Amino acid sequence: MPSVIKILPQHIANRIAAGEVVGRPEAVVKELIENSLDAGADHIQLIVKDGGKSLIQVKDNGCGMNPEDAVLCFNRHATSKISTAEDLENIRTMGFRGEALASIAAVSMVELKTKTGNSQTGTLVKNNGGEITENSEISTDNGTSVSVKNLFYNTPARRNFLKSDHTEFRHIYETFIRLAVANHNISFLFINNGKLVFDLKATDLSGRLSQIYGSDFTCNLLEVSNSNELISLNGFISKPSFTRKSRQEQLFFLNSRPIANKSLLYAVHSAYDDLIEKGDYPCYFLFLKLDPYRFDVNVHPSKSEVKFDDEKALFSFVRKTVTRTLEENNLVVNIGSSALSGKFYQNTDSIKKHRELTLYHKSASADNFTESFKKNKHGNVHELFVKDSGAYNPERNTDQETEHTDDHDISQNTSVNEIWQFRKKYIIYHLDSSLMIIDQHAAHERILYEQALERLNSNANLSQQLLMPITVVLNHIDYELVKSLEKEFNALGFDIEVASRNRVIIKGIPSDVRIGNEKLALQDMIDVYKKNDVKLNLDKRDNLAKSYACKHAIKAGDVLSEAEMLNLIDRLFLSRMPYVCPHGRPTIIKISADDLDRMFARKGFS
Ligand code: ADP
Ligand code: MG
């Protein structure tokens, strides 16, 4: 049998390798900017068109290349950064594999212009799909400019695999932010489809975070700084009171390189354990410094995953540092013996605890408490079926008069006699011969969702005006999103005006939004909207109504008065689809007396 194995031609090998290095436009941006950083540039310009599909250009004022290197750099394994195997153990540059330019050129049309500081003229090299089509002397600035056009033009399958321009841009945007945060001492200019996204001057880390996220954001951050002989950790973390609904503002860097490592992520989160609600994410921008020989970045070509030689020690160092920062900033108080087990409670948590106690005492002495509960002084049932008697609730209408009248009307409608809140999460009552259990959050979500849809469809524009308009500075993506949804936001009752330079002015809010909570209400809604957008691909209005409902519905943990519970039930049954929340989960569970009899094997004896 003749030999069947062939060595692939270089250009085919490069095209295959390109799949690994350049998955999408974002990867090209990352590789090119990293090259500029490695070249010692202190000013980098990024120009993108159509989500990077038609153009990605990175221009720098770095060391440039001589005419020979300007051609050589397109060869596979062509790198100036390592030459011996030992060098691999001691890498300090972003790149070293020497395959980025070869891979990018294999699947696009590249134009490279470069000039070193000590030469009079520069070089232009054009490379289409791995073939050099032009190599000439030109006059150009010191430094390097690489334009990547028509990415994946010769690999249609990959091109079809790309997402919308908007989505591809978002990936580029996130990568840009990571690089800009890590390299705050370098100035960046970012232009998308001819519009300025960022013009960032060199500054310190906190300055860079302000430039990107706004000063409202940075005043909620705490500085982190700790080191020993082997490790150092610096940067910023958010106060526990300032959290997001997504992980977008969580950046971890290892020796200035953005990394993804589950264990480190968990180390930071575990320090916030008892301080934030489940589903809320702290923001952080943390820089870890380690000797290069203590970890291996070679695990993955994109170099974002790393392996550490002593992950445990690192974990505890990070956790300890973050915990200490939170403690030192007096955000936490230790209570009782739980302090010994390393658990901390935020001030608000101890208020919550206090609330529970008050509730317990008040209910124990309440006159209208049923006999059976009164007798059960020690049982858990007593504690769990606490009948609410008006404990503190910031959203509560404190007017006792109205509460009473409401109470009366509603109880007649639904013929509810006894009603309890169980674990501050469920409402329990009996209706005719059935026991009803309502999930308070899901039920309220259903009500608000339908109400929001109704407003969106009727363009009702009902909002309560604020005395003083509030200006919110958003990041660019959120700003663009609000801009595209301005009409819908207004219909919902947010009287907002989209101003210039990423600013949004809130003049009025829907009546369900608490005064003083406007900024957070808007930001949270945007976060949920984006999440839904990626995950569920919803229609604009439906998504907005869902985000609105989710963010403004009462939560598990909110204490409700009897009147509020009755009101909720009443409104729930007036809705179109009372039995499921907008996400399709049940709102009500019903257990009939017959079911109970059956469960207790009582059938026939009742
Ligand atoms: P690597 O970065 O892993 O070395 P690349 O394919 O990204 O591999 O780049 C190959 C080589 O081309 C680099 O080692 C460097 O010498 C040169 N090079 C690439 N981009 C630039 C730039 N912007 N400025 C100067 N030299 C560059
Ligand atoms: Mg490189």
Q: Hey, how many other C-beta atoms are within 10 angstroms of the C-beta on 5?
A: 4
Say if domain 206-329 classifies as CATH 3.10.20.30. Answer: no
Distance between CA atoms of residues 124 and 577, nearest Å: 66
Distance 583 CA to ligand 2 centre (A): 45
pLDDT score recorded for residue 363: 34
**What is the arithmetic mean of pLDDT over 376-403?**
31
| Angle (CA) 476 478 484, round 5° | 105
Of the candidates 101, 97, 25, 92, the one whose C-alpha atom is nearest the C-alpha of residue 56 is 25
C-alpha span between 387 and 428 (Å, rounded): 10
Residue 311's closest CA among 324, 325, 327, 296? 296
| Least confident among 34-43, 376-385, 464-473, 485-494 | 376-385
Return the HEC string of 158-171.
Answer: HHHHCCCHHHHHHH
Contacts of 325 (CB under 8 A, 6+ apart): 222, 223, 224, 237
Task: Decide if pLDDT at 596 tops 90.
Answer: no
Task: Copy the structure tokens of residue 441.
Answer: 């959050």
Measure CA of the first residue to CA of the last residue in the chain; give whole Å: 87
Would you state the pLDDT for residue 90? Answer: 67
**505, 471 contact by CB (below 8 A):** yes
DSSP for residue 230 = S
pLDDT of residue 304: 62
Which residue has a Cα nearest atom 16 of ligand 1? Answer: 80
Closest by CA position to 146, among listed 100, 83, 178, 183 = 100
Asked if residue 363 has its Cβ within 6 Å of ligand 1, the reply is: no
Say what the pLDDT of residue 533 is.
77
Distance from the alpha carbon of residue 120 to the mean position of ligand 1, in angstroms: 21
Number of the ligand 1 atom closest to the C-alpha atom of 143: 24
For ligand 1, is residue 35 a contact (CB within 6 Å)? Answer: yes
CA distance linking residue 537 with residue 149, whole number of Å: 29
Distance CA 285, CA 283 (A): 7
Look up the CATH superfamily of 10-201: Histidine kinase-like ATPase, C-terminal domain (3.30.565.10)
Phi, psi of 415, deg, nearest 5: 45, 50
Q: What is the pLDDT of residues 431-445, one digit of tens each?
A: 777 888 999 999 999
pLDDT band at 365, cuts 50/70/90? Answer: very low
Ligand 1 atom nearest residue 146's Cα? 23
Q: Which of 23, 118, 121 is nearest to 67 (CA)?
A: 121
**Exposed (0-12), middle (13-18) or buried (19+): which is 189, by Cβ within 10 Å?**
middle
Pocket probe mutation, ligand 1, options 36, 68, 69, 80, max atoms within 8 Å of Cβ: 80
Q: Is 101 in the pocket of ligand 1 (CB under 6 A)?
A: yes
d(CA 245, CA 257): 25
Q: How far is the CA of 203 from the centre of ligand 1 (A)?
A: 26
Taking the centre of ligand 1 as the mean of its atom positions, its distance from the CA of residue 80, in whole angstroms, is: 7
pLDDT tops 60 at residue 225: yes
State the DSSP code for 387. Answer: P
Q: Is the CB–ligand 1 distance for residue 75 below 6 Å?
A: no
Is 545 in contact with 489 (CB distance < 8 Å)? Answer: no
Q: Which of 30, 35, 110, 116 should be mutated for ligand 1, with most atoms under 8 A from CB?
A: 35
From the CB of 106, is ligand 1 less than 6 Å away?
no
Give, in order, the Cα–Cα distances in Å from 226 to each of 103, 266, 284, 327. Answer: 40, 18, 15, 14
Q: pLDDT at position 376, please? A: 31
pLDDT of residue 542: 85
For 247-276, give the secondary structure using H, E and C: CCCEEEEECCEECECHHHHHHHHHHCCCCC
More confident residue, 308 or 51: 51
Ligand 1: which of 73, 107, 113, 298 to mutate, judged by most atoms within 8 Å of the beta carbon?
A: 73
Does ligand 1 come within 6 angstroms of the Cβ of 95? Answer: yes
Please classify residue 463 by burial: count the beta carbons closer than 10 Å to its beta carbon, then call 0-12 exposed, 13-18 middle and 19+ buried: buried
Residue whose C-alpha is closest to residue 279's, from 491, 475, 524: 524
Tens of pLDDT, residues 162-193: 999 999 999 999 999 999 999 999 999 999 99
Residue 381 has a pLDDT of 27
Q: Pick 507 or 304 by higher pLDDT.
A: 507
Long-range contacts of 375-380 (CB under 8 A, 24+ apart): none
The residue whose C-alpha atom lies closest to atom 9 belonging to ligand 1 is: 98
Q: Across the chain, what does the average pLDDT equal?
A: 80
Atom of ligand 1 nearest to the CA of 63: 25
User: CATH assignment of 460-552, given 3.30.1370.100, 1.20.950.20, 3.40.50.720, 3.30.413.10?
Assistant: 3.30.1370.100
State how beta strands 109-115 and 131-138 pair.
unpaired
Q: Is 235 in the pocket of ligand 1 (CB under 6 A)?
A: no
- Mean pLDDT is highest, among 37-46, 288-297, 387-396, for 37-46
Residues in the chain: 606
Give the closest ligand to the alpha carbon of residue 110: 1
**67 vs 39, 109, 389, CA distance in Å?**
16, 19, 82
State if residue 80 touches ligand 1 by the CB under 6 angstroms criterion: yes
- Asked if residue 353 lies in contact with residue 345, where contact means CB atoms within 8 angstroms, the answer is yes
How far apart (Å, rounded) are the C-alpha atoms in residues 389 and 384? 14
Please state the separation of Cα 198 from the chain's center in Å: 20
pLDDT tens per residue, range 461-507: 678 888 889 999 999 999 999 999 999 999 999 999 999 999 999 99
Nearest ligand, CA 39? 1
Q: Is 97 in the pocket of ligand 1 (CB under 6 A)?
A: yes
Q: Which residue has the higher pLDDT, 362 or 19?
A: 19
pLDDT tens by residue, 134-149: 999 999 999 999 999 9
What is the per-residue DSSP string for 423-469?
A: TTTEEEEEETTEEEEEEHHHHHHHHHHHHHHHHHHHT----EEEEEE
Nearest-atom index, ligand 1, CA of 79? 14
Q: Which residues lie below 8 Å from residue 252, measured CB to CB, with a gap of 6+?
A: 258, 259, 260, 261, 264, 265, 268, 284, 286, 288
Closest CA to 528 of 436, 468, 448, 596: 448
70 versus 541: the higher-pLDDT residue is 70
The residue written with tokens 């009742």 in the block is 606
- Answer with the residue of higher pLDDT: 539 or 335: 539
User: Is the separation of the CB atoms in 271 and 239 below 8 Å?
Assistant: no
Q: Which ligand has the shortest distance to the CA of 104?
A: 1
The contacts of residue 112 (CB under 8 Å, 6+ apart) are 70, 73, 123, 124, 125, 126, 127, 144, 145, 146, 147
pLDDT value for 13: 76
CB 243, CB 276: distance < 8 Å: yes
Asked if 531 contacts 544 with a C-beta cutoff of 8 angstroms, the reply is no
Name the residue type at position 219: C
Same fold? 206-329, 460-552? no
Mean per-residue pLDDT for 81-108?
79
**Residue spans per domain, the chain:** 10-201, 206-329, 334-443+556-599, 460-552
Q: Could you tell me which CATH number the domain at 334-443+556-599 has?
A: 3.30.1540.20
DSSP E strands, 139-262: 143-149, 187-192, 195-200, 221-227, 232-238, 243-244, 250-254, 257-258
Check pLDDT > 70 for residue 156. yes
If one counts every other C-beta atom within 10 angstroms of the C-beta of residue 396, the result is 16
Q: Cβ distance 199 to 186 under 8 Å? A: no
Model confidence band, residue 535 (pLDDT cutoffs 50, 70, 90): low
- CA distance to 428, 551, 578, per residue, from 584 (Å): 21, 17, 11
SS3 77: coil
Q: Report the predicted TM-score, pTM, of the whole model to 2 decimal places.
A: 0.60
